[in-house]
């Protein structure tokens, strides 16, 4: 069983004769590696099983065409589309960052290589479109692993870390967007890596001492990883810079500590306090930082400690800024022009309180309905602040900055998309709030544990149900019913804020109708769910013309059933094997995460 209460012991253990503690540490790291590999395989199989296997959005089509142009011709220009802007040479260029197109490049190249082997370029492009559907699945699987590592570094046991990662993968926005082709997964992975590296840079600083600083290279290395990750996030989506202060907060704290030394209290004492996780007494030195330095060691030595950190973080970000400026000039003749015209300066028109309410609670876009465990994680961050203040501050800062930025944006909804697309990046950060009950678990009595489980169960089930609806039915099909068949056009505002038109209810209706059509064998006119659309009672005058056009299941192995017998057969075989592999990996992951004892070391060496 996966135990949410399994936590890492934070009381340093004495070194045993013959290197016993070192052996325990190595054994613990090996076990972590086994769990990570199993978790990665599980996530990859899950997202492969549920992927769409096609381009699902206009944004995705523009980025795919850019990738195709890069792979085939080494060029950036593509055919004009609504998502493009006219460049200085009169050709059309995508408005989106280059990061997602680079991530997609291996998948597109593999598809085109398949077409070349068949001497059929058309077939090659079809294969490329299919394989690109896997790109964000791979990215999201990596994101699940990084979330596990951050939870583990923060003191959670293997069971608790695995539980948090699995909940993130199955009950939040991660799974629906793993099958889409937006740039948010790549952006989020980069920012999450930056967060983990930034926390490790701060952790490495904690091991410094007065006589020597053997952790300097570790501190600078992790700071460099954080800087590179922020640079990648910026090149994927320029708005990522608004989250840079949050994800680099631990690096800033490490620099602050290195400069001021042990003479100044640390307001965010964090991962390496010399106290049990449950919190008893704290030694007098636990809130100061044992780093040689402060003003006593002289300005030269202080600068020598700060300068490498600043260069490690700043240089990759500055290089990314220069590359983006060059790219902007090449496309649009202006280093500061991204292709959006004056939209960035005129688009922040939504009243901020309205925007916050929409993004969190709107019936068709609210995070509370589309990712309930993430909202519980938000509540847990306040609890986490008592035990891991730096992790909590980083997570809450990232959430707050993203929320306030997009709450003012005119297109706060990010349509057409599933749920609050612009809050997707905050979901892994909010899931860190689940660390709070995990760390407190050993101190909870039986009754309190039962209450925690009873409170969490409906939230988890609600998130799981929302994800089943998301991966089973194409969100574009539902929006086409509201937008096209009901005459609402591309601006499907009813689906955002009117409960009867919520995509959650709409997908449940389409899923029932699709099951009746495929399993029950009902034809379109006789389908018992044809007229049971969720707004039928409130708006009987709004009758969809042909809702059966939206019927069908959207995973790649079911979306094209009946079109080609050969493909149907092999798609079914592969899907069955993936389902079996997923079942086996789930059992294996359950056993690995549930049968490990985590109290083997106080702190894990970095490296």
Residue 402 scores a pLDDT above 80: yes
Average confidence (pLDDT) over 36-44 = 97
| Contact (Cβ atoms closer than 8 angstroms) between residue 155 and residue 10 | yes
Average confidence (pLDDT) over 379-407 = 95
Which residues form the domain of 493? 474-552
In a shared domain, residues 419 and 494: no
Residue 138 lies inside a defined structural domain of this protein: no
What is the rounded (10 degree) CA torsion for 529, 535, 541, 544?
-50
Q: Left, alpha or beta for 6 (phi > 0: left; psi -120 to 50: alpha)? A: beta
**Digit-coded pLDDT (tens) for 329-361:** 999 999 999 999 888 878 899 999 999 999 999
- Last residue of a domain, which of 412, 435, 458? 435
Query: What pLDDT score does 560 carry?
Result: 64
| Nearest partner of 326 among 317, 335, 313, judged by Cα | 335
With tokens 């096209």, the residue in question is: 484
Spatial separation of the C-alpha atoms in residues 84 and 454, rounded to whole Å: 49
Residue 201 lies inside a defined structural domain of this protein: yes
Residue 593 lies inside a defined structural domain of this protein: no
In a shared domain, residues 242 and 328: yes
**Digit-coded pLDDT (tens) for 281-326:** 333 333 333 434 444 454 555 566 678 888 999 999 999 999 999 9
Please report which residue ranges of 212-279 form alpha helices under DSSP H: 216-236, 244-247, 249-260
Q: Is the pTM of this model over 0.85?
A: yes
Query: What pLDDT score does 574 carry?
Result: 94
Alpha-carbon distance values, 146 to 8, 192, 595 (Å): 18, 7, 22
| Contact (Cβ atoms closer than 8 angstroms) between residue 495 and residue 502 | yes
Residue 513 scores a pLDDT above 90: yes
| Contact (Cβ atoms closer than 8 angstroms) between residue 292 and residue 210 | yes
Spatial separation of the C-alpha atoms in residues 353 and 190, rounded to whole Å: 29
Query: What pLDDT score does 310 carry?
Result: 87
| Contact (Cβ atoms closer than 8 angstroms) between residue 156 and residue 148 | no
Percentage of the residues of the chain whose pLDDT score is greater than 90: 70
| Contact (Cβ atoms closer than 8 angstroms) between residue 371 and residue 427 | yes
In a shared domain, residues 401 and 491: no
Residue 246 scores a pLDDT above 70: yes
Query: What pLDDT score does 266 carry?
Result: 46
Spatial separation of the C-alpha atoms in residues 199 and 591, rounded to whole Å: 29
Angle between the N-to-C axes of helices 121-132 and 58-73, in degrees from 0 to 180, rounded to the nearest 10: 130
Average confidence (pLDDT) over 224-231 = 97
Residue 262 scores a pLDDT above 80: no
Residue 168 lies inside a defined structural domain of this protein: yes
Token couple for 497: 């804020």
In a shared domain, residues 223 and 287: yes
In a shared domain, residues 217 and 361: yes
Query: What pLDDT score does 14 carry?
Result: 40
In a shared domain, residues 389 and 336: yes
Residue 219 lies inside a defined structural domain of this protein: yes
| Nearest partner of 6 among 605, 594, 604, judged by Cα | 594
H or E segment at 518? helix 503-518
Distance of CA 32 to the CA centre of its chain: 21
Spatial separation of the C-alpha atoms in residues 432 and 246, rounded to whole Å: 14
- Spell out a b/e string for 145-178, using b for 16 or more CB atoms within 10 Å of the CB, else e: bbbbbbbbbbbbbbbbbbbbbbbbbbbbbbbbbb
In a shared domain, residues 232 and 377: yes
In a shared domain, residues 128 and 202: no
* Number of independent structural domains in the chain: 3
Angle at CA of residue 199, ends 197 and 205, nearest 5°: 105
Token couple for 537: 């009672």
Residue 426 lies inside a defined structural domain of this protein: yes
Query: What pLDDT score does 592 carry?
Result: 87
**Digit-coded pLDDT (tens) for 423-436:** 999 999 999 999 99
Residue 254 scores a pLDDT above 90: no
In a shared domain, residues 534 and 509: yes
In a shared domain, residues 179 and 70: no
**Digit-coded pLDDT (tens) for 355-389:** 999 999 999 999 999 999 999 999 999 999 999 99
Spatial separation of the C-alpha atoms in residues 463 and 535, rounded to whole Å: 23
Residue 270 scores a pLDDT above 70: no
**Digit-coded pLDDT (tens) for 595-605:** 654 433 333 43
Query: What pLDDT score does 207 carry?
Result: 52
| Contact (Cβ atoms closer than 8 angstroms) between residue 324 and residue 236 | no
Q: Of 204-213, 254-263, 438-447, 519-528, which gets the smallest average pLDDT?
A: 204-213
Query: What pLDDT score does 367 carry?
Result: 97
Across the strands, what pairs with 348?
409
Residue 17 scores a pLDDT above 70: no
- Last residue of a domain, which of 435, 465, 499? 435
What is the rounded (10 degree) CA torsion for 417, 421, 425, 428?
-80
Percentage of the residues of the chain whose pLDDT score is greater than 70: 82
Mean pLDDT over each residue of the chain, to the nearest integer? 85
**Digit-coded pLDDT (tens) for 173-217:** 999 999 999 999 999 999 999 999 999 988 876 555 444 454 568
Spatial separation of the C-alpha atoms in residues 265 and 282, rounded to whole Å: 14
Residue 44 scores a pLDDT above 60: yes
Token couple for 568: 């149907």
**Digit-coded pLDDT (tens) for 122-145:** 999 999 999 999 999 999 999 999
Query: What pLDDT score does 525 carry?
Result: 86
Spatial separation of the C-alpha atoms in residues 539 and 316, rounded to whole Å: 55
Residue 466 lies inside a defined structural domain of this protein: no
In a shared domain, residues 241 and 299: yes
Residue 356 lies inside a defined structural domain of this protein: yes
Spatial separation of the C-alpha atoms in residues 122 and 124, rounded to whole Å: 5
In a shared domain, residues 166 and 301: yes
């Amino acid at each position: 069983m996966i135990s949410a209460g399994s936590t890492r012991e934070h009381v340093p253990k004495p070194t045993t004769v013959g290197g016993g503690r070192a052996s325990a540490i190595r054994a613990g790291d090996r076990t972590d590696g086994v769990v990570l590999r199993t978790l990665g395989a599980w996530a990859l199989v899950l997202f492969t099983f549920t992927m769409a296997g096609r381009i699902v959005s206009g944004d995705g089509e523009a980025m795919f065409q850019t990738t195709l142009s890069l792979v085939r011709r080494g060029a950036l220009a593509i055919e004009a589309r609504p998502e493009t802007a006219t460049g200085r040479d009169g050709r059309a260029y995508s408005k989106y960052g280059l990061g997602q197109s680079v991530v997609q490049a291996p998948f597109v190249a593999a598809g085109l290589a398949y077409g070349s082997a068949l001497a059929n370029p058309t077939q090659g492009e079809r294969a490329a479109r299919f394989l690109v559907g896997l790109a964000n699945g791979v990215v999201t699987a990596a994101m699940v692993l990084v979330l596990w590592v951050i939870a583990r570094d923060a003191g959670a046991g293997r069971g608790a870390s695995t539980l948090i990662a699995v909940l993130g993968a199955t009950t939040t926005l991660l799974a629906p967007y793993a099958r889409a082709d937006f740039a948010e997964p790549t952006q989020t992975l980069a920012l999450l890596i930056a967060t983990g590296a930034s926390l490790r840079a701060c952790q490495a600083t904690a091991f410094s001492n007065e006589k020597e600083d053997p952790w300097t290279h570790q501190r600078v290395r992790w700071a460099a990883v954080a800087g590179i990750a922020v640079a990648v996030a910026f090149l994927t989506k320029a708005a990522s810079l608004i989250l840079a202060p949050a994800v680099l907060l631990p690096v800033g704290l490490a620099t602050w500590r290195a400069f001021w030394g042990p003479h100044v209290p640390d307001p965010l004492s964090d991962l390496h306090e010399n106290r049990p996780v449950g919190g008893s007494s704290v030694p007098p030195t636990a809130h100061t930082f044992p780093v040689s330095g402060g003003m006593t060691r002289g300005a030269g030595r202080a600068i020598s400690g700060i300068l490498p950190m600043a260069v490690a973080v700043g240089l990759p970000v500055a290089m990314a800024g220069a590359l983006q400026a060059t790219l902007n000039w090449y496309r649009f003749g202006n280093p500061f022009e991204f292709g959006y015209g004056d939209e960035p300066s005129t688009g922040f028109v939504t009243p901020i309180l309205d925007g916050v309410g929409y993004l969190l609670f709107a019936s068709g876009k609210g995070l509370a309905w589309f990712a309930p465990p993430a909202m519980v994680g938000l509540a847990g961050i306040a609890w986490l602040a008592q035990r891991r203040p730096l992790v909590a501050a980083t997570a809450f800062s990232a959430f707050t900055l993203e929320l306030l930025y997009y709450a003012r944006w005119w297109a706060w909804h990010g349509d057409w998309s599933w749920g609050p697309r612009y809050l997707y990046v905050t979901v892994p950060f909010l899931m860190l709030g689940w660390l709070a009950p995990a760390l407190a678990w050993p101190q909870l009595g039986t009754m309190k544990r039962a209450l925690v489980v009873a409170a969490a169960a409906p939230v988890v089930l609600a998130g799981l149900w929302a994800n089943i609806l998301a991966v089973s039915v194409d969100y574009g099909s539902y929006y086409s019913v509201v937008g096209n068949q009901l005459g609402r056009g591309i601006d499907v505002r009813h689906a955002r804020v009117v409960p009867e038109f919520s995509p959650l209810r709409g997908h449940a209706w389409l899923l029932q109708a699709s099951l009746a059509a495929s399993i029950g064998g009902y034809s379109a006119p006789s389908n018992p769910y044809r007229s049971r659309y969720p707004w039928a009672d409130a708006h009987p005058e709004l009758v969809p013309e042909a809702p059966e056009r939206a019927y069908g299941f959207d995973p790649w192995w079911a979306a094209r059933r009946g079109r080609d017998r050969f493909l149907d057969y092999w798609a079914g075989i592969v899907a069955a094997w993936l389902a079996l592999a997923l079942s086996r990996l789930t059992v294996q992951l359950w056993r690995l995460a549930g049968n490990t004892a985590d109290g083997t070391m106080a702190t894990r060496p970095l490296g």
